[in-house]
Each structure stands twice: as C-alpha cells, then as structure tokens.
Amino acid sequence: MTTYALDSLALFVCGRAIGGFGEGGAVNIEFEQEEWENKSCVDGKVISSKILAHPGTVEITLRYDSPSNQVLQRMADARSVGTFTCQYPNGDLAHSDDCRVQKRPGMADSTSPGDRVWMLYLQQLEVTFAGGA
C-alpha cells in the first residue's frame, strides 16, 4: 500500500487549486454505479449490458480555516458547474468536465471548529491509472 501526503496532491475545481485539507483529511473519489448491468432471464441465462454513463462523487475534507471553503461555497451559492481534476503523485488522474456541489458541510455546536466535508457530484468521471499499480 502506498500512502501520499495530501499536500502533494494536485486538486482543481473550476480551475481553482483546492488545498488546506483537514486533520486526517481525505479526498475520496467513488463511481456511483457498476460497469455492467446483469439481468437473469427465465431460461437461466444472464444478459449483460454495458453502462455507458460513469457518474461519480468526491468527498473532500478541508480544515475549517481553509480558503478553499470559500471557493466551494461560491460555487454552491451560484449553482455553478465546472471542471474537476485530481492528480495523485504516482500519476493516477481523475477528471470530469461537469462538476457541481452536491452537499454542503453541516454545522455542529462545539467549542472548537471542526473540519468541513464537501460532497461533489461528477456527471462523467474519467479515471486513468498510472503504470506500476
């Protein structure tokens, strides 16, 4: 298993660099559905259909004082759609031309501010894995 420091991650939303990740912060990128849909027929055969859409989600954890919170806040307020690009130090790349804020961070009543978790929706997520995985 390879672990990377998040400060060496290149993350851009709407062309703006995103940084200031939270304590133990993470950038989690997930596909929303499977590559194939399988249906069983009455005769016992299985029909497989390739799913062409590849929507995904990204969960980004930022420190409460990160300036990137303002970038995502403005995007959410304007209901903007922009690009998403995330490149890992090993060369893995995730990209979408259609990115929007799906869920804003919640708020908690506490004596100290916590991390802010943003959920982004990617309409067509394209992932390229670098060699040597």
Query: Residue 99, by phi and psi: left (phi above 0), alpha (psi -120 to 50) or beta?
Result: beta
User: At 72, which helix (H) or strand (E)?
Assistant: helix 68-77
Domains of the chain: 6-128 (2.40.30)
CB hemisphere CA count around 28 (13 angstroms): 10
Q: How far apart are CA 57 and CA 52, in angstroms?
A: 17
User: At 71, which helix (H) or strand (E)?
Assistant: helix 68-77
Confidence band (pLDDT; 50, 70, 90) for 5? low
Token pair for residue 30?
């997930």
- pLDDT, one tens digit per residue, over 23-52 is 767 788 998 877 788 889 899 898 888 877
- The answer to whether the CB of 116 falls within 8 A of the CB of 64 is yes
Can you tell me the mean pLDDT for 72-79? 95
